[in-house]
Amino acid sequence: MDGDLIAVQDLRVSFASDAGIARVLDGVQCAIRPGEIRGLVGESGCGKTTLARAILGILPPNAARIDSGRVTFGGRNLLDLPEARLAAEVRGREIAYIPQDPSTAFNPVFTIGTQIADLMRWKSPLARTANPPTGRARREADHARVVAMLRQVQLPNPEALLRKYPHEVSGGQRQRLMIAMALLPEPKLVIADEPTTALDVTVQAQILKLLKGLAREHNVAVLFTTHDLGAAYEICDRITVMYAGQEVEEAPVAEFFNRPSHPYTRKLLDSLPSAETGLRGIPGEIPRLIDPPPGCRFNPRCERASAVCLAQRPPPEQAGPGHVVRCHHRLTDAEA
């Protein structure tokens, strides 16, 4: 759609393994507007990380294959862009990445300051200005940006922190550093892949609040993958639900929680623990992606499934403003 920052269209990705070919993304559609915070939710193994990695061009080269699709960003199809251009122009610059576990993102043998200086050497926004300063002037200007950004992510005493090694700071501080490093190149999109999974609950909430505040302040869009619906509720404008490699529903956050249209979304919401119901799982199992169910992949677990659900994947249908659902038997308002 016109005005989208990024549009993933009909993306199909498969992984080769000894057991056969797993069709991990099956015709995924997902478009994000500038400045929007988008949640990508679904159970473990539904393909969230694979979608994030496909956008960034960092799928494992020997195992993964892109079978079809487009990722349109800035008028280009990122899937067609040569790796050298993707690395130089897009990844870590226009699209930044915050990984699940920040401890693996740092090199343990260099100080944090050295690693951030290295990032700025390649990805500083100053390098993109008409007459960038050079030599010492550039280093000093970049350093001032780094210190200001560390203050924005609420890391106290930035100068001392830059002299530390990654193991000398806490997990929460490392994740704040990752957010700072993602924002320093002034990207248009940040892909945050389960960014708080490795942290304890109170720190998680602080980091999510920080990420949301900074994304708004810098007008950066965020693709936030999570299996935690509570976290998605806290920070997202819109939510896309994936099931076994297919996106099934997309809705503005209030609509998502109040008026879900897809039976799977309903079950996901019902599986949230509450005082009345306790913990409830979703009956049945996630399908094997080597021989997935035909049509709508949720059909074996869906009480509403009929012959058409096995014959054809439902096309996207409008269920409200900005609300799209793929279901042959979607819930009515009364059932939602």
Ligand X SMILES: Nc1ncnc2c1ncn2[C@@H]1O[C@H](COP(=O)(O)OP(=O)(O)OP(=O)(O)O)[C@@H](O)[C@H]1O
- The contact set with ligand X (CB under 6 A) reads 15, 17, 22, 24, 42, 44-50, 60, 63, 227, 289
Residue type, 188: K
Measure the N-to-C terminal CA separation of the chain; round to a whole number of Å: 28
Query: What residues does 331 pair with on adjacent strands?
Result: none
CB of 321 to ligand X, least distance (A): 28
Concatenate the DSSP letters of all residues of 136-148 into one string: HHHHHHHHHHHHH
CB of 155 to ligand X, least distance (A): 27
Please identify, using beta-carbon distances, which residue of 46 and 221 lies nearer to ligand X: 46
CB of 42 to ligand X, least distance (A): 6
14 SS3 class: strand
Burial class (CB in 10 A: 0-12, 13-18, 19+), 184: buried
| CA atoms of 267 and 280, how far apart (whole Å) | 9
Please identify, using beta-carbon distances, which residue of 44 and 332 lies nearer to ligand X: 44
Q: How far is C-alpha 3 from the geometric centre of its chain's CA atoms? A: 20
Please identify, using beta-carbon distances, which residue of 227 and 304 lies nearer to ligand X: 227
CB of 293 to ligand X, least distance (A): 14
The region that residue 290 occupies, defined by phi over 0 for left and psi between -120 and 50 for alpha, beta otherwise, is alpha
CB of 15 to ligand X, least distance (A): 4
| CA atoms of 265 and 230, how far apart (whole Å) | 14
Please identify, using beta-carbon distances, which residue of 46 and 169 lies nearer to ligand X: 46
Please identify, using beta-carbon distances, which residue of 39 and 158 lies nearer to ligand X: 39
Residue type, 256: F
Please identify, using beta-carbon distances, which residue of 65 and 76 lies nearer to ligand X: 65
Residue recorded with tokens 């999974």? 197
Query: For residue 197, which of 168, 221, 230 has the smallest C-alpha distance?
Result: 230
Q: How far is C-alpha 288 from the geometric centre of its chain's CA atoms? A: 23
CB of 192 to ligand X, least distance (A): 13
Please identify, using beta-carbon distances, which residue of 41 and 211 lies nearer to ligand X: 41
CB of 261 to ligand X, least distance (A): 21
| CA atoms of 65 and 45, how far apart (whole Å) | 17
| CA atoms of 7 and 106, how far apart (whole Å) | 30
